């Protein structure tokens, strides 16, 4: 996630923010493109083919295509351009973005290399590639991000949900299925796009789910996602500081709060730092401001025998564990949990 000063330890610690919503992973075989090959014909690769002289002079990232360029040529050219501006997923990004422009799947692209792009397609694709060259996250360019198999709308008002956070959903669902009797009340604190709250509501419709956020902008996105993704009422979103807007204590409190320390923030990859909301990432000198305040608010907001599940940075595991053990009333259990890459990523408290 760091541009210049990362060390292996930094990379582990901040793993979820090493990438944004970029089209990371899962590159399928079957592409016939040859990134090393020289494109010819109508696609200009070396310096781009500016649609007007001014735009290329003003914007070093500007790139364009000529009407009639084939899918194959467009992909080769775009991937080359993206790799120059250090997109680690250049080939995949170029495919995902062209598939988006053409409203087709990536496999359709591979089967239609000779398909010629219209002028409108060329313009839209060139615009997206130009923006990606400026390191705008792919998820924002597409306006969506898959999380736990659901398609969430995302834009710069919300953090792009990360795959690591899916583990939190697993833990919440396990807590819900361990409880029977009256409906379980779940609170997702710092809900952002609503990814955790909505996924829980979809998979456990019997639960009563709240999502809180300090950002009204984020809650607008969460509300859009709720309307589209939850067949029934879904979560109730409330604006305010941490647990304070909750109208009742919760049985399960889940939170992926900001946990980036001030010093780490300035070193984040520009995809993250320049595009994702600072309020979703920054958490003071140690990166613990929000988590510490959440723990302080717990006594009146968690039910007896309630559980609290927090995503943290691996370097924060021990200190958050100690802070939790010092709480009064004292939790009956405090434990750390590793993510699927083996890094300490979650703290669980049970009362
Ligand atoms: C790391 S993002 C997580 C978003 C979402 N839960 C996810 O996992 O994708 C943190 C969220 O906490 C919100 N937030 C920051 N400070 C807050 C506060 N004092 N009270 C409530 N929410 C806050 C931010 O607006 C942001 O949406």
The model's pLDDT over 193-205, given as tens digits with 9 standing for 90+, comes to 999 999 999 999 9
Mean pLDDT of the chain: 87
Q: Report pLDDT for 2.
A: 28
Give the residue, out of 189, 190, 287, with the most ligand 1 atoms within 8 A of its beta carbon, to mutate for a pocket test. Answer: 190
Query: Are both 80 and 108 inside the same structural domain?
Result: yes
Task: Report the DSSP pairing between strands 185-189 and 150-153.
Answer: unpaired
* Residue 10 domain flag: no
Return the H-helix or E-strand segment holding 12: helix 8-13
In this structure, what DSSP letter does residue 150 have? Answer: E
Q: Report pLDDT for 6.
A: 43
Query: Are both 263 and 124 inside the same structural domain?
Result: no
Q: What is the gyration radius of the CA atoms in the chain, in angstroms?
A: 22
Q: Report pLDDT for 43.
A: 33
49 or 59, which is more confident: 59
Please identify, among 136, 156, 174, the residue that sits at the C-terminal boundary of a domain.
136
Does the pLDDT of residue 58 top 60, yes or no?
yes
Query: Are both 73 and 151 inside the same structural domain?
Result: no
* Residue 1 domain flag: no
Q: Report pLDDT for 332.
A: 97
Using CA positions, which residue lies closest to atom 17 of ligand 1?
214
Of the chain, the percentage scoring pLDDT greater than 70 comes to 84
Q: Please state the pTM of the whole predicted model.
A: 0.87
Q: Report pLDDT for 17.
A: 75
Q: Report pLDDT for 60.
A: 80
Mean pLDDT across 113-129 = 97
Does the pLDDT of residue 36 top 70, yes or no?
no
Q: Report pLDDT for 56.
A: 52
Does the beta carbon of 165 lie inside 6 Å of ligand 1? yes
Does the pLDDT of residue 45 top 50, yes or no?
no
Does the beta carbon of 199 lie inside 6 Å of ligand 1? no
Does the pLDDT of residue 29 top 50, yes or no?
no
Residue 191 maps to which CATH number?
3.40.50.150
* Residue 192 domain flag: yes
State the residue range of the domain holding 110.
Answer: 23-136
Query: Are both 174 and 265 inside the same structural domain?
Result: yes
Of the chain, the percentage scoring pLDDT greater than 90 comes to 77
Mean pLDDT across 23-39 = 31
Please identify, among 94, 116, 136, the residue that sits at the C-terminal boundary of a domain.
136
Q: How many structural domains are present in the chain?
A: 2
Confidence band for 147, pLDDT divided at 50, 70 and 90: very high
Give the residue, out of 165, 257, 293, 296, with the most ligand 1 atoms within 8 A of its beta carbon, to mutate for a pocket test. Answer: 257
Q: Which two tokens stand for residue 1?
A: 């996630």
Does the beta carbon of 167 lie inside 6 Å of ligand 1? no
Does the pLDDT of residue 53 top 50, yes or no?
no
| Strands (E) located in the chain | 144-147, 150-153, 185-189, 208-213, 236-239, 250-255, 302-311, 333-338, 344-350
Please identify, among 100, 115, 136, the residue that sits at the C-terminal boundary of a domain.
136
Using CA positions, which residue lies closest to atom 6 of ligand 1?
191
Query: Are both 214 and 324 inside the same structural domain?
Result: yes
């Amino acid at each position: 996630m760091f541009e210049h000063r990362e060390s292996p330890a930094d990379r582990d610690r901040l793993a979820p923010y090493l990438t944004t919503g970029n089209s990371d992973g899962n590159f399928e075989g079957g592409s016939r493109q040859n990134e090393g090959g020289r494109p010819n014909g109508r696609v200009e690769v070396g310096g781009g083919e500016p649609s007007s002289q001014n735009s290329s002079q003003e914007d070093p990232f500007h790139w364009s295509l000529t009407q009639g360029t084939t899918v194959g040529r467009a992909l080769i050219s775009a991937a080359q351009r993206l790799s120059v501006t250090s997109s680690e997923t250049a080939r995949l990004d170029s495919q995902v973005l062209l598939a988006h422009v053409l409203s087709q799947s990536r496999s359709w692209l591979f089967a239609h290399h000779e398909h010629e792009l219209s002028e409108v397609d060329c313009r839209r694709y060139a615009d997206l590639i130009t923006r990606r060259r400026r390191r705008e996250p792919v998820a924002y360019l597409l306006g969506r991000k898959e999380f736990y198999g659901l398609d969430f709308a995302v834009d710069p008002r919300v953090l792009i949900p990360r795959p690591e956070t899916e583990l939190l959903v697993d833990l919440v669902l396990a807590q819900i299925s361990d409880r029977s009797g009256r409906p379980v009340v779940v609170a997702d604190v710092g809900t952002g796009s609503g990814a955790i709250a909505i996924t829980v509501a979809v998979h456990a419709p019997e639960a009563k789910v709240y999502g809180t956020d300090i950002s009204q902008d984020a809650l607008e996105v969460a509300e859009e996602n709720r309307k589209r993704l939850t067949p029934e009422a879904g979560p109730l979103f409330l604006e305010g500081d941490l647990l304070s807007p909750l109208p009742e204590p919760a049985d399960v409190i889940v939170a992926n709060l900001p946990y980036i320390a001030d010093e780490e923030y300035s070193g984040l990859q520009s995809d993250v730092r320049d595009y994702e909301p600072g309020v979703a990432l920054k958490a003071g000198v140690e990166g613990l401001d929000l988590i510490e305040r959440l723990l302080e608010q717990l006594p009146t907001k968690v039910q007896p025998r309630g559980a609290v599940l927090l995503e943290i940075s691996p370097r924060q595991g021990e200190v958050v564990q100690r802070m939790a053990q010092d709480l009064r009333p004292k939790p009956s259990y405090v434990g750390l949990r590793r993510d699927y890459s083996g890094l300490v990523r979650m703290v669980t408290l049970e009362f």
